[in-house]
A and B are shown apart, each in its own frame.
Chain A
Amino acid sequence: MGLTFKDETFREDFTFFNSPAAIRRFPFPFPEDSYMYSVNMEPHVPGRPGSVFEKTFDVDEHYVAEMRERARVLAEDPLRCQSLPHMTLAGWDLLELIMEAKAREYPDWFSLQRDGNRWHWINRPLEIEQTFTFLDETTLPCGPMEYITRQTQGDFSLQDQRNDNLWMDAGMVTTQADWSLDFDLGMNFFEWHAPVPLAHEKQIFTRALKFLMNVQHGAPARRFNWTMTIDPLLDTSPENYPKWGPSRATLTPENVGRRMHLRVELQTFFRLPRSNALAFPIRCYLIRFEELATQPKWARRLHRVIRDLPDELAAYKGFLRNKPIMVDYLAQFDDGTPTSPGWWAD
């Protein structure tokens, strides 16, 4: 594992950047030159070696810094992690899923030894060692969902399945694209998606819910979502909007390449065995426009996608006011030549 965990920040001086290797493996979310909502699900099976799909839970060069950032967010606002009482079992399911996967797929960094319900967990990058009793909360420093998601990149929502619907009854949400767990907690699938424009009319959520309720154990699924973020800020939360929202008014043609980031969510879906709940990890990847422009295919395509995006979607994703600056910047990379199929870099 020739990977060095970077010491970097996602606030104040914003020292985050992607190494050339991280740029090459970035999950660029556009398989074609235009974008409209779709359910775009596929089985979450191991993908191309080196890609973010290779492992069940991708661990990359930003791991240690992202976990440090999560701890800071939680210290300032503990309500970013909540679990209703009936979701504790789902938390144990998630802990088992992640520990098993990481120990199996990254044996140099993680180790899990099980002796009946006595478990011994080692997380070398974060220098954590813990012996605990599975299903006994008193043997961990915090609840099982919080424990494992403090050690795993990406946000997590645990959804209870009942009454022909999914209910957002637990989660760890510190790297979100402007939504709030504290606000959504206890809502059902249609309620928490209510603000999304255009998609309801297209029956997208009805179809998506049906699909998700049928995600089976042993057959996880995945999809992409995306938005734009100014500066490499992981915590673009409604709670902190007064701190980061005004940055939207500071974008200029001179700084757009450095400050504007494509924000991609790799969303995965796992049926949890003991609780029958659905785990929904939302992994955030950031790439600044300048970094993205090192891949000519992606820069050409992103120009066309943003240029042709309906204004309702640009407004919902929060960049309508900056769309002209972004399109002008990206236009310099678009010579009009065709792009190759699929989203992998050329």
Chain B
Amino acid sequence: MSGGAAKIPVRVAEVTEVNALIRRIRFVRRDGGPMPAFSGGAHTVVEMDDHGTRRLNPYSLMGDPADTTGYSISVRRDDAGRGGSLYLHRHVVPGMDMVISHPVNLFALDLRAKKHLMIAGGIGITPFLAQIAQLAALGGRFELHYATRNPALCAYGDELTARYGGRVHLYHDDAGQMITLPALLAGQPLGTHLYVCGPKGMIRWVRSTADSAGWPRAAVHHEEFLAPPPGKAFDVTLAASGKTLTVGTHQSLLEAIEAAGVDAPYLCRGGACGQCETDVLGCDGTIRHNDHWLTEAQKASGQKIMPCVSRFEGRSLVLDR
């Protein structure tokens, strides 16, 4: 089962500049048919041919999951990133044909929850937009706390407030506004589930605060996609395919494997889903584990690697691929 989720051939129907950093792209099926329904929190992997470089990046679906006429994503421009968001900002225009994956959800609502408490930071708002639309349709109880730098960068804040009123709380860093998390958590009814999506520091803060307040781990949900970090180029040997290749500075190991024509499994490409887990047959050096999937013990054993985000430094690395 390699090659990610099933693909959908789409056309770019609409491109909207939401604010100085964020642009929204709407996709419809090229054949005019309906998109699959999806669950709030799901993402799609967008395939890009960036002038010869193949990029596959996950983006949360932000539309109403019941709307099957098209999918929308919001992309924050990352000027220091590897180029996926820059490509979507600079080169994608209405009418363009692209390929995206079927929805995959690694950040699903727990529908048993008595209440859904959502903490969003910046572009981390996107999965919550879909979850809130779904909960509103189902009659679910939710409350959103959404922090951004300032009102100008508070994407969709006005729309959310207009539609959901007191269930939406906005915070602006420039105005010194902070989510008072310990008090917020202390006031929740039994059976509340907590969801966080945003910058790494925010996720760590919310999870540790909930942890020390005694929240059950299973009631705290987060989503964080990692971009493959750059690093020194290194060589890798693929034992099953009989190939040795070099992974470039700005290339991920998974991308190098794919560029060599070797079929490798993947799903999220962000270190979260576990699908690309690969056995390490030989390692003379240090694996730089960057994923959220392997346990600390597995990372220490050096017998597994997640090629979508992890790298290697040393003399030789041999994988069972």
Chain A residues within 8 Å of B, Cβ to Cβ = 43, 84-87, 89, 93, 96, 135, 160-163, 210-211, 214, 216-219, 221, 273-276
Contacts and interface: CB of A to CB of B under 8 A. Distances in A.
A211 B41 CA distance: 21
B37 interface: yes
A214 B111 contact: no
B111 A273 contact: no
Contacts of B274: 210, 214
A276 B108 contact: yes
B39 A273 contact: yes
21 contacts: A43-B1, A84-B112, A86-B110, A89-B111, A93-B37, A96-B37, A161-B108, A214-B1, A214-B273, A214-B274, A216-B5, A216-B6, A216-B104, A217-B103, A219-B1, A273-B37, A273-B39, A274-B65, A274-B134, A276-B39, A276-B108
A187 B50 CA distance: 47
Most interface-central of A43, A87, A217 (chain B CB within 10 A): A217
B38 A219 contact: no
A275 B111 contact: yes
A214 B275 contact: yes
B36 A218 contact: yes
Contacts of A216: 5-6, 102, 104, 267
A218 B33 CA distance: 15
Interface residues of B, number: 27
Given A214-B1, A214-B273, A216-B267, A274 B38 contact: yes
B144 interface: no
Q: Shortest 10 CB-CB distances between A and B: which pairs?
A: A218-B6, A86-B111, A218-B102, A216-B5, A276-B39, A273-B37, A276-B108, A86-B112, A276-B105, A163-B218
Grouping DSSP codes into helix (H, G, I), strand (E, B) and loop, the B interface class, with mixed when no group exceeds half, is: loop
Contact of A273 (B36, B41, B273): B36
Contacts of B137: 135
A221 B1 CA distance: 10
Interface of B: 1, 5-6, 36-39, 41-42, 65-66, 102-105, 108, 110-112, 134, 137-138, 218, 267, 273-275
Contacts of B105: 276
Contacts of A43: 1
Nearest to A274: B37
A188 to B, nearest CB: 11
Nearest to B38: A273
A175 to B, nearest CB: 28
Contacts of B5: 216-219
A86 B103 CA distance: 21
Contacts of B273: 214
B110 to A, nearest CB: 5
